[in-house]
Amino acid sequence: MKILSKITFAALLITGVACSQKPTQEPEKVEINLMIKSEKVGEYAGKDVFKYTLNNGTMQVELSNFGGLISRIEAPDKNGNLENVTLTMDSVEEYLTRQNPFFGATAGRVANRIANAEFTLDGTKYTLAKTNGDNHLHGGVEGFNKKVWTGEPYSNDSTIGVKMTYLSPDGEEGYPGNLETTLWMELTTDNTLRIRFEATTDKKTIVNLTNHTYFNLSGVKGDVKDHEFQFWADYYTPVDEELIPTGEVKDVTGTPFDFRTPKILGDQMEANGEGFDHNMVMKLEKSPDMKHFVRVKHPVSGRVMDMYSDNNGVQFYTANFLSDFAGADGITYGQHWGFCLESQNWPDAINHDNFPSPVLNPGEKYEHTIEYKFSVEQ
């Protein structure tokens, strides 16, 4: 199935002409073609798996209803060369059978770590799968990254995308409540990849959803240490040896976490020892306001990615545990070949009273929006 939406803008170019006079030249017409291509690529757990390709004429994004997946992003460099800027595999079909470190996936019900794989709500203790040492990570053994969502492509004059829904039943992976989740992934005419989540529950539960794409703005030509980062974050949450937050909220001043002015990632990684896998604090309290979280630039290619979100933090991960992974296009990914900017609530928040609460009650709606805007600079 292919959906094609063609938009034509007429621009009047008038110089030194009075309002009562006719324009001296014909309007310039600019055509922008927005295309969605939908293709069945396999089955998983008895359900159809699709690959969706979004194309706005400048860049291209590949999605799947398996795992709410972003499987590829192709963006131009300063010379107009279109290249993939994510760590991925050659096809969506590979995701159905091959283990990978959450490349491009939707992480849930609760992204990041929960200490000791347990939490308590209203006096009831819930026990989860230990998938990261003694801790719970990214929703469990079969989290949202391994579910087949119901997908529905859509388009309008400025946006093309796919709406996906998934009902997580009460007790799935140990979580309480039937959680109805809706995910929109869309590409706009101004090269913004927008991800929106909504969720409701019929029983008190906890929710923290995000996307886990590994970016590499070089076109995946090496590690990401040459990328330049700027975070609008005054604080971060320190972690223990198991990467569980200690509960402290620490000022970034005088630390390798101070990216408030642009810094080369490799310099900060060296100062920090072994890269980053930490929550950068973007808001101390919840609010619906969209905030400019991060700006990343790859100086050689000129590619720039600006990230915006309405959430409280972003997990900054520099692929510390990645090693010799046979990725797409015959490329072997090594340590630090990608970075993740996982917009989210703070990790292990349910076990820290001073962290923003991840609790969702019946009658409430969980809402979360992420935007990645791509551009180039010479």
Q: What is the pLDDT along the chain (378 residues), one digit of tens a residue?
A: 444 444 333 222 222 333 334 444 554 544 568 999 999 999 999 999 999 999 999 999 999 999 999 999 999 999 999 999 999 999 999 999 999 999 999 999 999 999 999 999 999 999 999 999 999 999 999 999 999 999 999 999 999 999 999 999 999 999 999 999 999 999 999 999 999 999 999 999 999 999 999 999 999 999 999 999 999 999 999 999 999 999 999 999 999 999 999 999 999 999 998 899 999 999 999 999 999 999 999 999 999 999 999 999 999 999 999 999 999 999 999 999 999 999 999 999 999 999 999 999 999 999 999 999 999 998
342 is catalytic: yes
The sheet carrying 263-264 orders its strands as 150-155, 159-168, 179-188, 192-201, 366-376, 303-309, 291-297, 228-231, 263-264
- For residue 31, what pLDDT is reported? 58
Residue of 74, 173, 342, 371 marked catalytic = 342
Using an 8 Å Cβ cutoff, are 286 and 279 in contact? no
Of residues 93, 104, 6, the one with CA closest to residue 50: 93
- For residue 16, what pLDDT is reported? 31
CB atoms < 10 A from the CB of 121, how many?
15
- For residue 33, what pLDDT is reported? 81
Q: How far apart are CA 56 and CA 76, in angstroms?
A: 12
Q: Which fold has domain 2-13+26-376?
A: Beta-galactosidase; Chain A, domain 5 (2.70.98)
Q: What is the 3 state secondary structure string of 245-281?
A: ECCCCEECCCCCCCCCCCEEHHHHHHHHCCCCEEEEE
Q: What are phi and psi of 267, to 5 degrees?
A: -65, -45
Q: How far apart are CA 215 and CA 330, in angstroms?
A: 17
Using an 8 Å Cβ cutoff, are 224 and 336 in contact? yes
Residue of 136, 138, 212, 298 marked catalytic = 212
**pTM of this prediction?**
0.92
